[in-house]
């Protein structure tokens, strides 16, 4: 509760963040720009969120109708059949004299009626106003939910696109190493023919070429899986964008990311803004529940006409009407109202706790993303410096082997080291890109 109180005091002083920049353009890839912007409107989760927003806004409009009078019309046609005592007659008796009897005359008629009923409740204790405020807050929360979904979808598209380009980069490295390994295999076979190398060296190099080439199918599977995921994120068939992804892509670059947490973080993140609106809605509902403890004041009215046929529905003696005030006061309802108030208070406390959790999670998520991006950048610098040394060791080991001053195992070890470092550099670069996406997502952009 202490964290919530401090944040609730600090939040009003924070300026609302402007519309976030298109951070995905920082990667310098036009195809990525197209995919991200297309997904922001065509993704199915985004469209579902838009429908929820329409629903919440419709409910908000409906809640405002409580301020006006409620007028209903009614009409009916009723068939009546029965009998009425008309009098008493004397009938002869077998014992002499007379006996009393009844004379009943049956009737058959219709009753046609039509009228209007009116009821208007004065919002004396603010129950309606608080209900409308809750509905408006729900609509704003739904709007923020939609923005949170768009943030998530943009990041998910970018992450999968980076995964796809990472697989492609890894495959290029593998193909280049396969070509290099095959060149070396040709050299070893020539030396073996000349008696300068053993068949064991040839077999080892053949196994090395096969081992490197065997890494291509899993990488291609990862590439295609990322392509299919992007298609689904765009609300289309998984393979819909596969032909476009085959084209040569622009060289991606690392976008600039902030070094520290921005002061307006809590206003930038739609999930935090949504939690604020949920608190406002819960608070308004708690107030509306308390309004049920007090009297309700109404003005009711009734007007109509009855007749025995449709032609009789004219102005005349069959008209009726009534109008007047009414009061309703809860006296004994087995604690139903107070139980409802307690439930709404519990929901308010739940919303506050959820807000605290979202705020702390926002700081944690952003801090983790910034740290991960910073460490990936530093690791990339270390790997780049190690690659030069690894390539030098390959050249030196090959030269020593050709001169007969070194064994072939040293050549294999040097080759494997270069291959591994090259792949680690490509993977780390992709990780740096993904960490940048995580930073922008954590910032609510």
Q: Could you give all domains of the chain from N- to C-terminal order, each with its CATH number?
A: 2-42+130-292+338-442 (1.20.1600.10)
Across the range 158-169, mean pLDDT stands at 91
- Report residue 51 as tokens: 């429908």
Tell me: pLDDT of 13 over 50.
Answer: no
Tell me: pLDDT of 421 over 90.
Answer: no
Phi and psi, residue 202, nearest 5°:
-65, -45
Per-residue pLDDT reduced to its tens digit, 425-439: 888 888 899 999 999
Residues 264, 357: Cα–Cα separation, whole Å: 18
Per-residue pLDDT reduced to its tens digit, 238-280: 888 888 888 777 788 888 888 777 777 778 889 899 999 999 9
- Report residue 16 as tokens: 């609302």
Phi and psi, residue 10, nearest 5°:
-80, -30
Across the range 35-45, mean pLDDT stands at 89
Residues 133, 84: Cα–Cα separation, whole Å: 59
The pTM of the full predicted model, rounded to 2 decimals, is: 0.77
> What is the percent of the chain where pLDDT is above 90?
22
Residue 445 confidence class, pLDDT cut points 50, 70, 90: confident
Residues 52, 70: Cα–Cα separation, whole Å: 28
Averaged pLDDT of the chain: 81
- Residues 414 and 391: beta-carbon distance below 8 Å: no
């Amino acid at each position: 509760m202490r964290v919530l109180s401090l944040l609730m005091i600090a939040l009003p002083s924070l300026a609302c963040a402007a519309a976030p920049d298109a951070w995905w353009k920082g990667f310098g890839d036009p195809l990525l720009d197209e995919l991200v912007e297309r997904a922001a409107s065509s993704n199915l989760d985004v469209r579902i969120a838009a429908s929820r927003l329409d629903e919440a806004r419709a409910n908000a409009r409906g809640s405002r109708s409580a301020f006006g009078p409620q007028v209903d019309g009614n009409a009916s046609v009723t068939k009546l059949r029965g009998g009425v005592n008309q009098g008493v007659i004397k009938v002869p008796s077998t014992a002499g004299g007379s006996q009393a009897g009844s004379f009943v005359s049956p009737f058959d008629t219709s009753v046609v009626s039509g009228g209007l009923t009116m009821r208007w409740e004065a919002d004396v204790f603010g129950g309606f106003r608080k209900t409308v405020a809750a509905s408006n807050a729900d609509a704003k929360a739904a709007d923020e939910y939609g923005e949170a979904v768009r943030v998530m979808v943009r990041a998910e598209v970018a992450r999968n696109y980076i995964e796809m380009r990472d697989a492609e980069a890894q495959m290029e490295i593998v193909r280049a190493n396969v070509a290099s390994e095959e060149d070396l295999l040709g050299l070893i076979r020539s030396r073996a023919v000349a008696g300068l190398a053993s068949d064991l060296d040839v077999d080892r190099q053949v196994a090395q070429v096969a081992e490197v080439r065997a890494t291509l199918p899993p990488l291609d599977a990862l590439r295609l899986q990322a392509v299919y995921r992007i298609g689904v994120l765009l609300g289309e068939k998984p393979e819909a964008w596969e032909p476009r992804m085959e084209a040569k892509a622009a060289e991606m670059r690392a976008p600039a990311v902030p070094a520290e947490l921005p002061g307006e973080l809590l206003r930038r993140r739609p999930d935090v803004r949504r939690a604020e609106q949920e608190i406002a809605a819960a608070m308004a509902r708690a107030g509306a529940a308390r309004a049920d403890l007090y009297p309700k004041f109404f003005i009711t009215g009734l007007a109509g006409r009855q007749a025995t046929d449709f032609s009789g529905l004219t102005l005349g003696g069959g008209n009726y009407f009534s109008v007047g005030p009414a009061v309703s006061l809860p006296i004994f309802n087995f604690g139903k109202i107070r139980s409802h108030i307690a439930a709404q208070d519990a929901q308010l406390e739940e919303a506050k706790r959820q807000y605290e959790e979202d705020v702390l999670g926002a700081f944690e998520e952003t801090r983790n993303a910034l740290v991960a991006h910073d460490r990936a950048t530093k690791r990339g610098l270390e790997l780049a410096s190690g690659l030069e040394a690894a390539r030098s060791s390959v050249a030196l080991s090959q030269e020593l082997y050709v001169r007969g001053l070194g064994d072939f195992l040293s050549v294999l070890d040097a080759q494997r080291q270069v291959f591994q470092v090259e792949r680690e550099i490509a993977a780390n670069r992709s990780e740096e890109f993904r960490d940048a996406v995580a930073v922008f997502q954590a910032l609510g952009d």
